[in-house]
Amino acid sequence: MGTTSFIGADSRRDWIILLFLMLAALFVPSVLNRGLVFIAGMIWINAVFGLSFNLLFGLSGVLSFGQAMFFAAGAYASAVFTQQLGVPFLLTLVLSAAVGAVLAGLVGAVALRRSEGVYFAILTLAFAELLHLLVSNTAILGRNDGLNGLQRPQIAVGNWQLDLAAGDNFYYFIVLICGLLIALIRWVLDTPFGRALQAVKQDPDRAEFLGIPVRLHRLVIFVLAGATTAAAGALVAPWAQIVTPELGHWSNSTNPILYTLLGGSAYFWGPVLGALVLSAVFYLTRTLVGMSDMVTGLLLLVVVVSLPGGILGLLARWTRRVDPPTATPTLEPGRERSV
**Residue 2: pLDDT above 60?**
no
Pick the range with the lowest mean pLDDT from 109-123, 179-193, 229-243, 265-279.
109-123
The DSSP bridge pattern shows strands 242-243 and 160-163 to be unpaired
Rounded-to-integer distance, Cα 310 and Cα 182, Å? 20
Continuous H helices in 190-213: 192-202, 204-209
Q: How confident is the model at residue 294 (pLDDT cuts 50, 70, 90)?
A: confident
**Is residue 335 assigned to a domain?**
no
Please check whether residue 260 lies inside any domain of the structure: no
> Which residues are within 8 A (CB) of 81 and not within 5 positions of it... i.e. 6 or more apart?
87, 91, 92, 95, 96
Q: Are 64 and 219 contacting, i.e. CB atoms less than 8 angstroms apart?
A: no
Higher pLDDT, 286 or 154: 154
pLDDT at 325: 55
* pLDDT value at 338 more than 60: no
User: What are the C-alpha distances in Å from 146 to residues 12, 123, 142, 304?
Assistant: 43, 25, 4, 35
Residue 290 — pLDDT band, cuts 50, 70, 90? low
Is 45 a member of any domain? yes
Tell me if 259 is assigned to some domain.
no
pLDDT in tens, 165-204: 988 999 999 999 999 999 999 999 989 999 999 888 888 8
* Stronger pLDDT, 192 or 335, i.e. the higher one: 192
User: Which residues form the domain of 196?
Assistant: 11-251
- Judged against a pLDDT cut of 50, whether residue 105 lies above it is answered with yes
How far apart CA 40 and CA 28 sit, in angstroms, is: 8
DSSP letter, residue 160? E
- Render pLDDT for 243-262 as a digit per residue (tens, 0 to 9): 999 999 988 998 999 899 88
The count of structural domains within the chain is: 1
Residue 154 lies in a domain: yes
Please report whether residue 329 resides in a domain: no
What mean pLDDT value characterizes the chain? 87
Residue 262 forms part of a structural domain: no
According to the model, what pLDDT value does residue 19 have?
96
Residue 326 lies in a domain: no
What SS3 class is residue 242?
A: strand
Question: pLDDT at position 203, please?
Answer: 87
Cα–Cα dist 242/151, whole Å: 9
